[in-house]
Copies of this chain bind each other. A is one copy, B any other.
Amino acid sequence: MSAISFEVRGQDPTTRARLGTLTTPHGTVATPALCPVATQASVKSLTPDEVRDLGAELILANAYHLYLRPGADLVAEHGGLHRFMSWDGPIMTDSGGWQVFSLGFGLEHGVGKIASMFPDEDENRRPVRGQRPRMTRVDADGVTFTSHIDGSTHRFTPEISIGVQEKLGADLILAFDECTSPLHDAKYTAEALERTHRWARRCLDARTRPDQALIGIVQGGPFEELRRESAAEIAALPFDGYAVGGSLGRSKEEMRHVLDWSMSALPEDRFRHLLGIGEPEDIFDGVERGIDTFDCVTPTRLARHGTLYTPDGLIAIRNATFKEDFTPLDPGCGCYTCTTFTRAYLRHLFVAGELLAYTLATIHNLAFILGLMRRIREAIPAGALSDVRAEFAAHWRRIPALPVGEGEGGW
């Protein structure tokens, strides 16, 4: 008996996209869905009520961060993550694999989910300039790493990660894996993949809570053979659902291939998550390849940088262009920010360093991306997904260089 069930309720006629319902111990999630990220048990700058009112049904928290602070035991004594953060809906926790990667090789080489695009995926890490990167050491049994908070030494193994995630008590927990970088060669990636597959079996053996779903993760870097091998291997294990993880290549084009290979063997009747991806175009790519849920810090982090979604693309609200712009941020958007304030006021809040800026920007960016997910869910059973994508792409202009790094530090 699985803690979750997944029902496919509709299918796009021309792609693998499907409409679904994920049922968890804390409620259902209409898919395709995007989970806002609550790294440290808080979707940054929003109350859980605001997150709920925006229509989010599933959020993702971080085993690595919560293990370090406030500690998994404390969260368990508190009655688990749902009570701790006062979110009674479904929660997923990641296993710590990605965080260990991003503090190790990722930090050292400045690579992220898609190399050269997101050098700083771990939204709580302060950028380290002129310092040696923190050390991460992988062995056959697990990973030893230093805390990004105080430099203390810690160790995660599959068993420890599952133990931490059982204490946190999310509805969906992730297998502990080794994330390789797109800069790693095929030989190292194959070795790491073998570890990931062994760890996947150890995670399945270690789990004890029947009210949590354990999600297996497909790895294999940018290599077709390894991705296909991993998809087959992980699909053959009795996971409750599947996720595609790791770095997805060096370009959007490569990401699409990696996704195709990773999804090749994953069963159609199971829930499938894409880790750490959430830009609008990527969401379309993922949905068309049969991904059901996404998590990504991008909408909320961009918001805190003053980079806001509009149907025409991203705008930097601090820009002087908006100083006397007395129109709503996005006239077609029904969120609190757009129905209540003007671009000029939002710009003022950012320029003046007012905390309300972060809240209002986050509300809008989440409303935008969750609204896009809603349009996708409506389009799939109507056979209109390609129309929605074409209509979106006709307006959307991507700003080549996102202002990642600006204002980084505290948040």
Contacts and interface: CB of A to CB of B under 8 A. Distances in A.
Contact of A42 (B40, B336, B354, B411): B354
A358 B358 CA distance: 12
A85 interface: yes
A78 B47 contact: no
B85 A345 contact: yes
B70 A351 contact: yes
B40 A354 contact: yes
B349 A42 contact: yes
Given A40-B354, A77-B326, A348 B46 contact: no
Contacts of A48: 340
Interface string A37-49: 0001110111111
Interface residues of A, number: 42
Contact of A47 (B79, B86, B359): B359
A323 interface: yes
A180 interface: no
20 contacts: A40-B348, A40-B349, A40-B354, A41-B345, A42-B349, A42-B355, A42-B356, A44-B354, A47-B359, A47-B360, A49-B336, A70-B344, A70-B351, A70-B352, A77-B324, A78-B344, A78-B345, A79-B326, A85-B345, A355-B358
Interface of A: 40-42, 44-49, 69-70, 74, 77-79, 84-86, 124, 323-324, 326, 336, 340-342, 344-345, 347-349, 351-356, 358-360, 410-411
